[in-house]
């Protein structure tokens, strides 16, 4: 189903995935208008889109996703919303009220704005972390959407993203102001990597500070299946095309889909090494400390931080849930997305790795300079 002539909104348009999706939308479809919603839209990003913009109007909407009036203005006359914006936090550095306000309340307000302004399609960017791993570290290997799992989550990020996903799927078939129906779906990407990934950049910086030796925080057998950012963007476009197709709306509406690709299953730490070994980085052979001891240390750190909270907020660099996430085999299939959405990875593992390594290489001198200060 073509989206030619439609008007769409991309929230978090200047983020890692948002930028890639906006560029893809310009290259693949002839939208009448793409509205870029973010707290701040960099002028250089807009300039970078000139060569592929064509006749599509690019409109900037800078504001707070917790502002209902702002969202109604942004959604007026829109047919498709890609909701990517959220606060990602796995070390509990952000106050719960802040992360809840953006991830949950912001999503609820955006859904309400869509209903009030007659937006017909809503694609929510969820995350694999709404599934787990749970605190017990129970593994999933090549899981599917019907996989039964005890999702006893602890991260504020995980719980707020799960609640926002539930609100999105429950809003499917809500009656719009004009009598039409809203169609929604959610995409659950694995750990997203690629050009612009701040997590990879952070690991590279830590490695520089450790004399070009990457820290090992994952056991080699704790394999996950990261997904390339370009393929995640393709999945979003495919979902939008399906939701706009009257024959497909009810088939995929109200459902979630795991999004992975053909990146080989590998542990988080070994994945960092695969990406950075061409740049001269090695990796520690073993964990910094035995896994059980790491749990104990994090447990006591969490107790100390709670005791000090009335006087000073301290955020430890690690916590038990993060250690569990890094050391649990957790991988999922994209077969249902392939079957229902027509999604297929556009970029091979070799292409994704090459692009990511080249980007990291371009950032290496800057990161060395920053770490030297």
| Residues identified as active-site | 161
H/E element, 142: strand 140-143
Angle at 273 between CA 202 and CA 347, to 5 degrees: 90
CA separation for the pair 111, 114 (Å, rounded): 5
DSSP states along 303-354:
HHHHHHTTT-----S--HHHHHHHTS-EEE--HHHHHHH----SS-HHHHHH
CA separation for the pair 338, 202 (Å, rounded): 32
Beta partners for 61? 37
User: Within 10 Å of residue 292's Cβ, how many Cβ atoms?
Assistant: 8
Contact 188, 257 (CB under 8 A): yes
CA separation for the pair 186, 254 (Å, rounded): 8
Contact 229, 193 (CB under 8 A): yes
Which of 23, 25, 32 minimizes the C-alpha distance to 4? 32
CA separation for the pair 32, 38 (Å, rounded): 20
Contact 92, 315 (CB under 8 A): yes
Cis peptide, bond prior to residue 133, ω within 30 of zero: yes
């Amino acid at each position: 189903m073509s989206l030619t002539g439609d008007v769409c909104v991309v929230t978090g348009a200047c983020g890692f995935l948002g930028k890639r999706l906006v560029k893809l939308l310009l290259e693949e479809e002839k939208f009448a208008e793409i509205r870029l919603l973010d707290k701040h839209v960099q002028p250089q990003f807009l300039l970078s889109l000139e060569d592929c913009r064509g006749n599509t109007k690019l409109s900037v909407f800078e504001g707070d996703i917790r502002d209902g009036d702002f969202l109604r203005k942004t959604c007026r006359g829109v047919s498709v919303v890609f909701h990517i914006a959220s606060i990602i936090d796995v070390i509990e550095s952000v106050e719960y009220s802040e992360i809840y306000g953006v991830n949950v309340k912001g999503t609820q307000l955006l859904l309400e704005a869509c209903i009030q302004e007659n937006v017909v399609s809503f694609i929510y960017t969820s995350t694999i972390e709404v599934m787990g791993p749970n605190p017990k570290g129970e593994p999933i290997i090549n899981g599917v959407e019907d996989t039964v799992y005890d999702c006893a989550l602890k991260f504020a990020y995980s719980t707020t993203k799960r609640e926002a996903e539930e609100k999105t799927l429950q809003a499917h078939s809500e009656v719009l102001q004009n009598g039409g129906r809203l169609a929604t779906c959610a995409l659950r990407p694995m750990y997203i990597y690629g050009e612009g990934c701040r997590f990879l950049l952070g690991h590279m910086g830590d490695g520089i500070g450790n004399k070009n030796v990457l820290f090992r925080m994952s056991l080699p057998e704790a394999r996950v299946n990261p997904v390339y950012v370009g393929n995640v963007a393709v999945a979003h476009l495919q979902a939008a095309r399906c939701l706009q197709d009257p024959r497909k709306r009810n088939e995929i509406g109200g459902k979630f889909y795991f999004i992975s690709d053909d990146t080989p299953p590998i542990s988080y730490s070994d994945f960092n090494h695969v990406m950075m070994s061409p740049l001269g980085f090695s990796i520690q052979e073993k964990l910094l400390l035995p896994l059980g001891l790491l749990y104990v240390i994090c447990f006591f750190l969490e107790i100390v931080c709670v005791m000090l909270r009335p006087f000073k907020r301290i955020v430890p660099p690690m916590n038990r849930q993060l250690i569990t996430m890094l050391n649990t085999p957790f991988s999922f299939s994209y077969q249902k997305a392939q079957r229902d959405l027509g999604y297929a990875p556009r970029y091979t593992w070799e292409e994704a790795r090459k692009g990511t390594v080249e980007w990291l290489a371009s950032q290496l001198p800057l990161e060395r300079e920053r770490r030297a200060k």
